Amino acid sequence: MGTQLSRTAQSPDGWLCATCGWEYAPGPVPEQCRICVDERQYVPTGGQLWTTLAELARDGARVEVVEVEPDLWGLQVPDFGIGQTGLLVRTPEGNLLFDVPGFIDDGAVARVRELGGIAHIVASHPHMYGVQSRWSAAFDDAPIWVAAADQEWLGHRPAAVRTWSERFEVLPGIVLDQIGGHFVGSTIAHWRDGAQGRGVLLAGDAIFPTPDGMVTFLRSYPNRIPMSAAVVRRLAEHASRYEFDSLYNNFGSRAGPGAPDIVRRSAQRYAAWVSGDNDHLT
């Protein structure tokens, strides 16, 4: 999906980067995608490609809404952009959309309304902004919480955007906190009542479950750029401030039960390798 376009191309509804799904304001097509030219992402070898919501709809894009666990639902758009899974947390006082799909359609909006709608929107980091302006507009201009440290990355800034820098409770029982690492403002959400009261940490890709049941930490996932041992220890210590049994990333993958111990042991493993402690094994 996506097309190489002339700089004179216009879209009254805004542009989407076909590679990462990032949202840009209505008007002329951007010269380049700021996310994709950064070292944490990439421009395809064939060049920068652009699309629109209308084009995606014509090509058959759709949002799939699937239950992850009680009161936690995943919103997935197969085969577009980075392919993230937005997570809808249901609470009696309103719902939080954490990480945002790069597409929206009437069917998904109707299903999310059945689940209680959206009271607040937050992306764990700029790669996950998706079409947050459209999701906000579909739910009474729900506030879009953007980490102040990362607001420079916004490709489109609707009136619903609110910046923040200090840890706060966005809904009763759900705390937003900036953990840093992958991006300076990388955000986690601690859901106190998740996992049947044992607690859930929504970590984006600041802390990323791996196939062996552990987790990892990277500056760039597609380009496999690591972080230092000091930063990884800091991330693990920050996560340890919260009580949780399960951890989810931005693709619906889970670590746990016993996620805090998994994070601790994984940080130790990572730090040992990047510090050279295991060089004798290579």
pLDDT per position as a tens digit, 106-150:
999 999 999 999 999 999 999 999 999 999 999 999 999 999 999
Per-residue tokens: 222: 């597609």
Domain ranges of the chain: 10-58, 64-274
Cis peptide preceding 28, ω within 30 of 0 = no
Whole-number Å distance between alpha carbons of 50 and 227: 31
Per-residue tokens: 263: 């994070």
Please say if the pLDDT value at position 6 is more than 60.
no
Sign of CA dihedral 114, 120, 125, 130: positive
Please say if the pLDDT value at position 54 is more than 70.
yes
What integer is the mean pLDDT of 236-260?
A: 97
Closest to 190 (Cα-Cα) out of 237, 143, 242: 242
From the options 3.40.50.920, 3.60.15.10, 3.30.360.10, 3.40.640.10, give the CATH code of 64-274.
3.60.15.10
Percent above pLDDT 90 for the chain: 90
11 pLDDT band, cuts 50/70/90, is low
Comparing 173 with 46, the larger pLDDT belongs to 173
Percent above pLDDT 70 for the chain: 96
Please say if the pLDDT value at position 207 is more than 80.
yes
Whole-number Å distance between alpha carbons of 77 and 86: 9
Closest to 87 (Cα-Cα) out of 57, 122, 62, 116: 122
Closest to 108 (Cα-Cα) out of 131, 82, 141: 131
Instruction: Write a three-state SS string for 132-164.
Output: HHHHHHHCCCCCEEEEHHHHHHCCCCCCCEEEE
Closest to 83 (Cα-Cα) out of 66, 68, 63: 63
Closest to 161 (Cα-Cα) out of 173, 148, 172: 148
Which one-letter DSSP state was computed for residue 220?
A: B
What integer is the mean pLDDT of 155-162?
A: 95
Whole-number Å distance between alpha carbons of 37 and 28: 19
What integer is the mean pLDDT of 34-54?
A: 93
Q: What is the pLDDT of residue 143?
A: 98
Q: What is the pLDDT of residue 7?
A: 47
